[in-house]
Amino acid sequence: MINDNFEKPIYLAHDHMNRLEDFARDAKGGVSAKILHLTVDGWINAPSKKEYLKTYYSYEGFYDRYLLALNQLHKVIANNSDQIKLVTSYRDLQDAGSEKVLAVILGNEGGKIVGESGENLNTLFDLG
């Protein structure tokens, strides 16, 4: 799945695509690492427009939805660790390059995942 051209790495600085087939397409296109935003400050998959608009001015549910998305990502990576590596340090990024696997760096669009609890921020930091 992963390309062999890591001498000139290609990084995606902002991406929301987190399925295995997305990672495969990235690698095939020469991408060696990407910053993956699992959620945004709006509930994109809300069951209705009313529910989406309700979240626009609220912090409710964002932390839980992020943890769910992160759990799903961890499963994809665990089942494909020979192709994808979650990066939480510079050393991890170097290792991913040496191993010729796609490096995934967690990012987020907006701050609603923190919610109204500073403890959530500590937990998110610990999770990567």
Q: What is the pLDDT of residue 48?
A: 92
* Global pTM value: 0.82
Question: Helix, strand or coil for residue 4?
Answer: coil
| Per-position pLDDT tens, the chain of length 128 | 455 555 667 777 777 888 899 999 998 888 999 999 988 888 878 899 998 888 888 888 899 999 999 999 999 999 999 999 999 999 999 999 999 999 999 988 888 889 888 899 999 888 88
How, if at all, do strands 11-15 and 102-107 pair? Answer: unpaired
Domain boundaries defined on the chain: 11-127
CATH T-level assignment (fold) for domain 11-127:
TIM Barrel (3.20.20)
Q: What is the pLDDT of residue 6?
A: 54
Question: Helix, strand or coil for residue 94?
Answer: helix
